[in-house]
Structure 1
Amino acid sequence: MHPIDFKASKSRGAIYLQLAQAFRDAIKSGKLLKGTKLSSARAMSVAYQLNRHTVMNALQLLVAEGWLESREKSGYFVTRSLPIESSSQQKKQPAYEKMNLSFADPLPEPKTININDYKYNFAGGLPDINRFPFNEYKRAVTKACRHIDINQLHYGEIAGVSELKAQIQDYLVRARSLKCNDLLICNGSQEALFLAARSFISPGDYIACETLGYPPARRAFSSCGARLVDIKQDEQGLCVDDFAKQLKQYKIKMLYLTPLHQYPTTVTLSPTRRLQIYRLCYEHGVVIIEDDYDHEFHYQCQPLQPMAADDPAGIVIYISTFSKLMFAGARVGYVTACGQILAQMRAHKQLINHKNDVLTQLAVAHWMSSGDFERHLKRTTKLYKVRYQAMADTLTQCQRQGLPLQFLQPDGGMAMWVNCQVNVQDVKRRAHEQGIYLQTEDEFYFAHSVRSLKPNTCDVSHIRLGFAGQSEAQMHAGLMALMRVIYP
């Protein structure tokens, strides 16, 4: 009789799979030697008190996988070609040990926050998903499924489905005075940032960034081998004079900018500085990545049109996303640039991702064509304006109570940049312990820049407070709790 002990367990799934696994274990351990003839299926069914068909299913599976051989009129045998030694030899062989893996560019394990872990959430780019019109959007999804052209479900259309591209192009003309000949649809703006860097950056090339910036963008650039150069900022945004100096010192290939509602300070770059920066980039052969991450939301006045709207030299890569208007899980971002740049980005996209989710793209296209998209935008902007004012009122109330807060209301966006005038280096940890999520100034510096302007910890005094993702009452209560953490 074959030397395996087997007892079926209903809690461990299909019995024939359990039996097959028991044979595999016996073969790998050397209990069943190469060439060993097994007992008949009938004998095993009696020995293990199993249905004969159950045994046969297990044996046929093992034959299909290559563990056993079936010989006509002879029965089942352990395959001779398996690289398994006898049990006596097995004991003399060293056990496998974990290999020391050599990664190209080791990265830390990604950390994500669970929104539900916090009572109060001041994440800067967090929309209120509870206000998203899911029933309305469901109609668009249903329409996409009913009227789908099955040819669109095959590989192809790397740049995105034509229906969505056409809707976005029309929307950009109406909402941002931005005319574009073509678009690339991406799985969110992060993929677009990575593709832009991959298209231009060779290891050792320089990318200029605002001193305080969007950490995932910097990590994407760095992973492509870029060397980052910090450019000074002031209350009006990126400092043109300092940018000019760094252009003389470093052969900068790209400039990454968030000119509208600068991330994280919320400052809007003036038209004068935009023109000066564009001219410097043109003179030095620098490509501009314009990240327009929350253009939709403006409360004081109409926002400035993107730099890409006036780009005669074709040096601006314009990136935006629907994540702030919809939700992050929708993964709909888009890029427009000159034809040569988009061609390279499409080629790099094909290497990592043949295409985006077709049904989502078509659903968003139907949602936009129905007019529901822009109606939702108007409702959301109205809602966020109320919360924007509620946060400003609460912070002003704190000032009147003697707290040394300083802040300026931005023209739009989803967050405020607040100077607490005390060191906030440890505030995030203490706030998290109280169930409050926020971001502090030290998170937005990049320590590995070749020219890092990160200050001493004692100079870190700002916090970024998102106001869009929670009700006014929730926000007020959270701010009061946060003030007790900052000013104990």
Structure 2
Amino acid sequence: MFSGTPLIDSTQQAKYVQLANQIRDAIQTGQLMPGDELPSARQLGLLFEVNRHTVMAAMQNLVAEGWLLSEVRKGYTVNTQLPVIESVKISQQAKVTEPIVPQFAYAVGDIESPSITQYKYNFAGGLPDVCCFPFDEFRRSMNRVCRQANASLLHYQSVAGEHVLKTQLLHYLRAARGLTCDDILVCNGSQEALFLIGQAFVQPGQCVAMEALGYPPARKAFQAAGASIVDIAQDQHGLCADSLAHCLSKNDVKLLYLTPLHQYPTTVTMPVSRRMEIYQLCVKHGVFIIEDDYDHEFHYSCPPLQPMAANDPAQIVIYLATFSKIMFAGARMGYVTASKPVLKQLTALKQIINHKNDVLMQLAIADWMASGNFERHLRRMTKLYRQRCEVMDKSLRGFQAQGYDIQYIKPQGGMAYWVDLKRDVSQLPKKLLQAGINAHTEQNFCHSPRALYTHIRLGFAGQAEQGIEQGLNALFDLL
């Protein structure tokens, strides 16, 4: 028999739960053994200083969980078939004290998710200014779809996306980007799209070609599929066709990942001639191109170039884009368009990992786009980001005038500058963190180590003009 203790009244748990916990612990620790009979409800009530109804409630819970058996005219006994008790005995005999270390298929690395609130100045290169998002306006769209919600849309269907949103996206791509396509796959952000593409195309040991300075989450998505990443050299016009040709002749390359409009992180806009040269090389070698057009909307010096996908007779371009730069990252809304066989494969894979996207968010965005408020928001933000781009350019030229040896090319669009500080910046991230400045230096974007890192990526979209100027002053003070 075990010795119970009176229940503590100050705990937030109900008394019958406390009693059940004590009896369960007694079984697990061996104080009560399989087959042991428990005292009557009256005796247990006296022992634990509770009433009979509390005891009965606790016992019924333990019977339902399988710890006790209830027999007519015999009362309650400890279940004789409790694997956990045998496991405890084995563990005690073997004296196992250390946890078993899991053996994973591959190393993913640590999760990096710093809080934006810990920084005083935010120069992250791909963050929009969430404070400028028209939440009241968007809430009206959300309210409308909630009031008019069709119950059938809320079930497991439409894996590729809701029809009303896809219709709006197809119209938008045709009108704003000159891209005519037959269908679209809606994803939980562009990162899910990259992961799906890697799983669809890459077998372990095969290669994915990327710019030597590139988007780290894309690398991780391809590496998760078992890909080997091959770095391709870059110049002032973007990815070098000669370097790509050499790579394709020597390696089993399945995919080429590009950010041709605003190269990530260098912000370079790839000219048409270079795009055509790269496209022909990929056609020759049967390599599919992933065109990540992550911030197409924000181009300032002239109308943005058409996507490569707009002129794709060989149907090798997989075009993806996101709402993260237009709205906010938490919206988790991206989309892919490609040839029918590719979309069919990606949709089937999506159904395995994620039946569908947030329906209400899809319907609300479709309503927002149909109302015209989406395009008005784009015009406002494009004007605002153009102004902030000019502010950063003026500030950087001011530091050059003060004698700082820095070099940069004013980007044609996008949300960031790529600045050569003409000095080693490998230790700068620690100083930036201490100063409360959120910015990324060159080593963040390198797949292969370099002897010297000199560049920094400075985003201008995510904070107001005053923050840009004050933040740059704080940054250059560190130099």
Indicate the TM-score class for this superposition, using the shorter chain for normalisation: over 0.9
CA distance in 1, matches of 2:272, 2:92: 76
CA distance in 2, matches of 1:276, 1:43: 88
CA distance in 2, matches of 1:141, 1:54: 48
Q: Percent identity?
A: 52
- Superposition deviation, residue 420 in structure 1: 0.5
CA distance in 2, matches of 1:339, 1:251: 24
Aligned residue identity for 1:94: K
CA contact (8 A) 2:256 2:287 kept: yes
Whether 1:204 and 2:205 are equivalent positions in the alignment is yes
SS of the residue 2:11 aligns to: helix
Superposition TM-score, scaled by structure 1 size: 0.95
- Superposition deviation, residue 359 in structure 1: 1.0
CA distance in 1, matches of 2:292, 2:86: 60
- Superposition pairs for residues 275-314 of structure 1, below 5 Å? 275-314=276-315
What are the superposed Cα offsets for residues 220-243 of structure 1, whole Å, 9 maximum, x if unpaired?
111111111111100110111111
- Superposition deviation, residue 2 in structure 1: 4.2
Whether 1:262 and 2:253 are equivalent positions in the alignment is no
CA distance in 1, matches of 2:87, 2:312: 73
Q: Flag as ranges the 4+ runs of structure 1 deviating above 6 A.
A: 86-90
Aligned length: 478
* Higher mean displacement: 14-23 or 410-419: 14-23
Match of 2:16 in 1: 16
Unpaired stretches in structure 1, ≥5 consecutive residues: 448-453
CA distance in 2, matches of 1:53, 1:435: 59
- Superposition deviation, residue 375 in structure 1: 1.1
CA contact (8 A) 1:141 1:359 kept: yes
Match of 2:50 in 1: 50
Match of 2:376 in 1: 375
CA distance in 2, matches of 1:109, 1:181: 39
CA distance in 2, matches of 1:412, 1:216: 22
- Superposition pairs for residues 382-461 of structure 1, below 5 Å? 382-447=383-448, 454-457=449-452, 460-461=453-454
SS of the residue 1:388 aligns to: helix
CA distance in 1, matches of 2:113, 2:297: 26
Aligned residue identity for 2:451: N
What are the superposed Cα offsets for residues 22-45 of structure 1, whole Å, 9 maximum, x if unpaired?
221110100011111112223323
- Superposition deviation, residue 88 in structure 1: 9.5
CA 1:27–1:157: 2 relative to 1, 3 Å: same
CA distance in 1, matches of 2:351, 2:268: 36
SS of the residue 1:10 aligns to: coil
* Higher mean displacement: 16-25 or 342-351: 16-25
Give me the CA root mean square deviation.
Answer: 1.7
Match of 1:479 in 2: 472
CA distance in 1, matches of 2:258, 2:198: 13
CA distance in 1, matches of 2:11, 2:379: 54
CA distance in 1, matches of 2:101, 2:194: 32
Aligned residue identity for 2:467: Q
CA contact (8 A) 1:120 1:437 kept: yes
What are the superposed Cα offsets for residues 35-86 of structure 1, whole Å, 9 maximum, x if unpaired?
1111222332333222433322221111111111111232111101113269
- Superposition deviation, residue 89 in structure 1: 9.2
CA distance in 1, matches of 2:409, 2:9: 67
Match of 1:450 in 2: none
Match of 1:188 in 2: 189
Match of 1:126 in 2: 127
SS of the residue 1:178 aligns to: coil
CA 1:255–1:85: 2 relative to 1, 3 Å: closer
CA distance in 1, matches of 2:396, 2:23: 69
Match of 1:336 in 2: 337
- Superposition deviation, residue 109 in structure 1: 2.3
CA distance in 1, matches of 2:92, 2:220: 48
CA 1:77–1:245: 2 relative to 1, 3 Å: same
- Superposition pairs for residues 82-93 of structure 1, below 5 Å? 82-83=82-83, 84=85, 92=93
Superposition TM-score, scaled by structure 2 size: 0.96
- Superposition deviation, residue 362 in structure 1: 0.9
CA distance in 2, matches of 1:157, 1:145: 18
CA distance in 2, matches of 1:85, 1:301: 74
CA distance in 2, matches of 1:93, 1:321: 54
CA distance in 2, matches of 1:81, 1:313: 65
- Superposition deviation, residue 200 in structure 1: 0.5
CA distance in 2, matches of 1:16, 1:468: 57
CA contact (8 A) 1:177 1:305 kept: yes
CA 1:197–1:36: 2 relative to 1, 3 Å: same
Match of 1:69 in 2: 69
CA distance in 1, matches of 2:230, 2:94: 54
SS of the residue 1:11 aligns to: coil
- Superposition deviation, residue 91 in structure 1: 5.7
Match of 2:230 in 1: 229
